[in-house]
Structure 1
Amino acid sequence: MPVSDYVASIRSRIGTDLLLLPGVTAVIRERDRFLLARHRHSGLWSLMGGAVEPGEEPAEALHREIGEETGAAVRIRGIVGVYGGDPMMVTYPNGDQVGYVTTAYDCELLSAAVADQDELLEVGWFARDEIAALPRRDWIDRVIADALVGMETAGTSA
């Protein structure tokens, strides 16, 4: 996963110290199934997304990240929620510490998704009960639960 020029310039001054970054997360779903990716740096399954670059609209960042990670296009249906705190703290293998505050978007997949082998090991569709058995980032459980509540509220069947 390439580091942006912006983050690299900050890292050159602060080293691996904690950096708080705005992020975006794609909750790509088809009825009761969710598209997850297994990340190369951790081996864990998670939702896809990444950091918002300076001057970039969050929705643009989401489209860019999904394109970079899978080559796919998505349609944003709405916002699931905004998440931060301890569950969103990450220490990367190189020691870089990041705290993300991410906006999770409910998305529909418009084209085939294939894992970018530099960043992702694989992608796959999973029902909620299957996700519970995966080695995963724990914070996605809350996001997926919120997405399912949003579907029920909107009258969409899960």
Structure 2
Amino acid sequence: MPTPQYILDLREKIGTAPLLLPGVQSVVFDDRQDPTSVLLGRRADNGRWHLPAGIMEPDEQPAQALVREVLEETGVEIAIDRLVSLVTQPATAYANGDQVQFLNCTFRGHYLSGQAHVADDESIDVGWYPLDHLPDDLAEGGREMITRALPLEGVPYFVA
């Protein structure tokens, strides 16, 4: 999915200045498989594996945004189990000069239906990976969130 229109409208007013954005990220497990697998996508922009994620739209609740994003990116319908973490990511700048920082809500979810496939232009591959065979180029932050999400119940991580 392309950049949401409300962000493009903001960029017309503020240019490339820093923008704090609400982000959502998923750790989706498929317990029907043995061993348990996690849903990952390979990004089109950098070729690296990542947890499905996206930006909330105005008037959207975080869990609802994540269910939408996962379906849009992977073709998989999920249910949310719990909040895993709420953290502000380090600031970053894109090649066009836009500066962003994400307030990231990571949720644990589980598979409901659908066949995992590339469903938009943000990914070049999508698939389920056993926890003991994660892709080598999955970022350390993704691995950390998978570990934090493993318990079905738990207290969300945040920086105090």
Is this contact kept in 2: 1:41–1:92, CA < 8 A?
no
Q: Which residue of 2 aligns with 1:71?
A: 75
CA deviation vs aligned residue, 1:18-61 (integer Å, no higher than 9, x gap):
21111111111124421110010111111002111111111211
How many angstroms does 1:80 deviate by? 1.4
Other structure's SS at 1:3 match: coil
Amino acid at match of 1:104: T
Q: Distance in 1 between matches of 2:108 and 2:149?
A: 7
Structure 1 segments (4+ residues) deviating >4 Å: none
2:11 maps to 1:7: no
TM-score for both structures, normalised by structure 2: 0.82
Other structure's SS at 1:124 match: strand
How many angstroms does 1:126 deviate by? 2.0
Q: Residues 142, 79 of structure 1: CA spacing in aligned structure 2 closer, same or farther, 3 A cutoff? A: same
2:157 maps to 1:115: no
Structure 2 gap ranges (5+)? 155-160
Other structure's SS at 1:35 match: strand
CA deviation vs aligned residue, 1:50-80 (integer Å, no higher than 9, x gap):
1111111112111211121122210111111
How many angstroms does 1:152 deviate by? 7.8
Q: Which residue of 2 aligns with 1:139?
A: 141
Q: Distance in 2 between matches of 1:40 and 1:151?
A: 31
2:41 maps to 1:37: yes
How many angstroms does 1:90 deviate by? 4.0
Structure 1 gap ranges (5+)? 154-158
RMSD (Å), alpha carbons: 2.0
Q: Which residue of 2 aligns with 1:156?
A: none
CA deviation vs aligned residue, 1:103-127 (integer Å, no higher than 9, x gap):
1111111221211251101012223
TM-score for both structures, normalised by structure 1: 0.82
For 1:74-85, what aligned pairs fall within 5 Å after superposition?
74-85=78-89
Q: Residues 108, 134 of structure 1: CA spacing in aligned structure 2 closer, same or farther, 3 A cutoff? A: same
Over the matched positions of the two proteins, sequence identity in percent amounts to 36
Is this contact kept in 2: 1:41–1:93, CA < 8 A?
no
Q: Residues 94, 128 of structure 1: CA spacing in aligned structure 2 closer, same or farther, 3 A cutoff? A: farther
Give the number of the structure whose residues are more often helix, by fraction.
1
